[in-house]
Structure 1
Amino acid sequence: MASHQPATMKAWLYSSATGGLEKNLQLNLNAPQPRQPLFKNEILVEVISMSVNPADAKLPELGFVAKALISTPASPGLDYCGRVVATGTVVDSVRIGEIIFGKLEKPTKFGTLGQYVVVTHEDCASLPDGVDPDHAAAIGTAGLTAYQSIVPYVKAGSKVFINGGSGGVGTFGIQIAKNAGCHVTTTCSAPNVSLCQELGADDVIDYKTTDVYQELVARGQIFDLVVDNAGTPLNLYKDSANFLKPEGIFEQVGGPMSFSGTATVASNMLLPSFLGGGKRPYHFFVAKNSHDDLAEIGRLMKEGKIRAVIDSIFEYEDAPRAFEKLKTGRARGKIVVHVTKKP
């Protein structure tokens, strides 16, 4: 049921991202809360912890495009773990005071770097006993992306290549693929080889000292699935028939936010094989919010079958530094920000 809430909240806000989002965030201790009263199927959540994703910065930095999608001032952030403080009239899947985790359906004016957010049933799952809210806050985008880009396409014994194994999606992906019984090959730089191996990777390629494409070609058509979190080398999909099985699938998850990167994705999606395009099925992957998938990832975490790899944790007053760290491109796993006090 709905309950009375203060009209304001604390929130890190941006009105422009010129020069970088991290340089434009301003802390407002009296920012307006999300719309009230709630719609009948909505849940108001006080955020305990959130985690940052590349898209949280990339979208605001698109300038006029971003302003057309999100009114400002706005708070960035999609992923969260928090406590339920109010519910719409038909919500019966959670109770007030319960701790839940998940991700917002899409970027919004009221992101998870604000104290309160509004979600629905598909955007959340209950926090399992024994799982730290910081770890649950790391699941959201990265966990759903890894789970949905791998699990539907593999079976025990499948061979999976994960391009980019040490970031948020990659660290979850290695573990999820191994839990599904797959053989996992991944890429990372030398300092992260041991991490990828600890997570279960069977074979790790150092992309800084090895030509990734040539290394894959040398192995032949052995892979059932490629999950490309990195987007480089740019020719990876077009030449994937040299290492993907004829029935293999190429999932494009991430890539450089540049003209060449965008042009490559467009070409991969639109150029037919007889005109020089790739010869394997190509999916540009976008995660879909799913209560059931979030609950399953939470269950795997509770049972110790997967874990969140946390690179660093920032207190709320230091939130801009979380984006500074994200932009270095050297985070091992996820970056978390504390928003309110943990239970």
Structure 2
Amino acid sequence: MKALTFKRYGKSPEIGLSELPRPSLRDDEMLVEVHAVGLNPIDNMITTGMFKPVLKFQMPATMGSDLSGVVKEVGRRVTRFKSGDAVFASLFDLGIGSLAEFAVVPEHVAAPKPENLDFVQAASIPMVGLTSWQAMKERAGIQSGQKVFIPAGSGGIGSFAIQLAKHFGAKVGTTTSTGNVSLVRGLGADEVIDYKKQQFEKELRGYDMVLGTLRGDEIEKSIGILKPGGKIVSLVGPLDAAFATTRGLNVVLKLVFGLMSRKIMRLAAQREVDYSFLFVRPDGAQLAEIGQLLASERIRPVIDQVFPFEHAREALGYLAQGRAKGKVVVQIK
């Protein structure tokens, strides 16, 4: 089968299409014929080696995490799915990839594809959906009437997270460029900051949660818009000691991550707010709940561009530019 792989970490990861053997199954796994793959920024980060201490791959490693497709075979302990079922899933943090003609999908990470979505739309959802759900519902416990700041509202994660926050009854603030103001308002954003004209940290106040999606000093700036007792859930770092503990990492990495997050922890404590780093986990049950929201059209996919499989590398390059309005998807079948 064809797969998009990388051969090493670093500046020259040798990304390209490779011919690999069709994978074999364990008893709790399914072989899925992949129809489409949604791309995520971390797909590009992984090849740099940034997450090498945390995410384990055997080289050459298949790229990609999200997928939609059709079940072709099931292991003998699989009970929820059968051959011919349409599914979607995230394979993130499982040491396997999705940018291939076939993928092994553990039963517990898969969910039925919503019937009203095509495969491209369904593939755009898993990681952004699970990340938004775990950040806002699990980590922050967002309640109706609270205020959530979701920067970069027109991007892949932002365009989904705004809609989910509104479903939870929250009021949403976001940032975007002038040309995307109407897009994010259409998704439900209540307070929109045009970052080319305004600085969000000077305009917004009284927020209960910040979903950290932008690198650099944006996380630190966002502390000032939170109420005492508010929460920052960062998707981009800095990694913290609690994350190292959760992952069972060694003492050295705990120390390193603690040092990396020392400044943001100090600033958060001064403001009486909580900071934490979130690493999304695959979860088929949660994805099924998200699928119900999509099926009822309370949330809709937002897709920027669709690339054919033979141009998957170009799709990753386009995503890396950071200009996509919604998700970038590779169509395989």
Cα shift readout 1:253-291 (whole Å, capped 9, x = no counterpart): 23699xxxx8995225654867xx653111111112222
Counterparts of 1:41-52 in structure 2, within 5 Å, are 41-52=28-39
- Asked whether the 8 Å contact 1:151–1:177 carries over to 2, the reply is no
Counterparts of 1:87-126 in structure 2, within 5 Å, are 87-106=74-93, 108=95, 110-126=96-112
**In structure 2, how many angstroms separate the alpha carbons of the residues matched to 1:64 and 1:139?**
22
Unaligned runs of 5+ in 1: 1-8
**In structure 2, how many angstroms separate the alpha carbons of the residues matched to 1:184 and 1:287?**
22
Runs of 4+ residues deviating >6 angstroms: none
**In structure 2, how many angstroms separate the alpha carbons of the residues matched to 1:232 and 1:207?**
15
Q: Does 1:164 align with 2:167?
A: no
Cα deviation for residue 86 of structure 1 reads 1.1
- Asked whether the 8 Å contact 2:114–2:291 carries over to 1, the reply is yes
Q: Does 1:26 align with 2:16?
A: yes
**In structure 2, how many angstroms separate the alpha carbons of the residues matched to 1:272 and 1:308?**
36
Which of the residues 229, 233, 257 maps onto 1:251?
A: 233
Which of the residues 193, 198, 205 maps onto 1:205?
A: 193
**In structure 1, how many angstroms separate the alpha carbons of the residues matched to 2:85 and 2:207?**
42
**In structure 2, how many angstroms separate the alpha carbons of the residues matched to 1:146 and 1:43?**
26
Cα deviation for residue 49 of structure 1 reads 0.2
**In structure 1, how many angstroms separate the alpha carbons of the residues matched to 2:153 and 2:212?**
10
Partner residue in 2 for 1:5 = none
Partner residue in 1 for 2:250 = none
RMSD of aligned alpha carbons: 2.6
Partner residue in 2 for 1:11 = 3
Counterparts of 1:1-343 in structure 2, within 5 Å, are 9-16=1-8, 18-19=10-11, 24-28=14-18, 30-34=19-23, 36=24, 38-62=25-49, 65=52, 69-106=56-93, 108=95, 110-152=96-138, 153-216=141-204, 219=205, 222-234=206-218, 236=220, 240=223, 242-254=224-236, 266-268=261-263, 271=266, 279-340=272-333
Aligned partner of residue 153 in structure 2, secondary structure: coil
Look up the equivalent residue of 1:192 and give its one-letter code: N
The percentage of counterpart residues that share the same residue type is 35
Cα shift readout 1:172-225 (whole Å, capped 9, x = no counterpart): 100001111111111112122111111010111112322222222xx3xx2111
**TM norm structure 2:** 0.86
Look up the equivalent residue of 2:185 and give its one-letter code: Q
- Asked whether the 8 Å contact 1:227–1:250 carries over to 2, the reply is yes
- Asked whether the 8 Å contact 1:77–1:107 carries over to 2, the reply is no
Aligned partner of residue 322 in structure 2, secondary structure: coil
Look up the equivalent residue of 2:17 and give its one-letter code: L
Q: From the superposition, tell whether residues 273 and 141 of structure 1 become closer, same or farther in structure 2 (CA, over 3 Å).
A: closer
Cα deviation for residue 16 of structure 1 reads 3.3
- Asked whether the 8 Å contact 1:268–1:278 carries over to 2, the reply is no
Q: From the superposition, tell whether residues 87 and 48 of structure 1 become closer, same or farther in structure 2 (CA, over 3 Å).
A: same
- Asked whether the 8 Å contact 1:213–1:233 carries over to 2, the reply is no
- Asked whether the 8 Å contact 2:69–2:87 carries over to 1, the reply is yes
Look up the equivalent residue of 1:159 and give its one-letter code: K
Which piece of structure 1 moves more, 145-154 or 43-52? Answer: 145-154
Cα deviation for residue 314 of structure 1 reads 0.4
Q: From the superposition, tell whether residues 20 and 325 of structure 1 become closer, same or farther in structure 2 (CA, over 3 Å).
A: farther
- Asked whether the 8 Å contact 1:157–1:181 carries over to 2, the reply is yes
**TM norm structure 1:** 0.84
- Asked whether the 8 Å contact 1:230–1:256 carries over to 2, the reply is no
Cα deviation for residue 69 of structure 1 reads 2.8
**In structure 1, how many angstroms separate the alpha carbons of the residues matched to 2:166 and 2:219?**
27
**In structure 2, how many angstroms separate the alpha carbons of the residues matched to 1:193 and 1:61?**
33
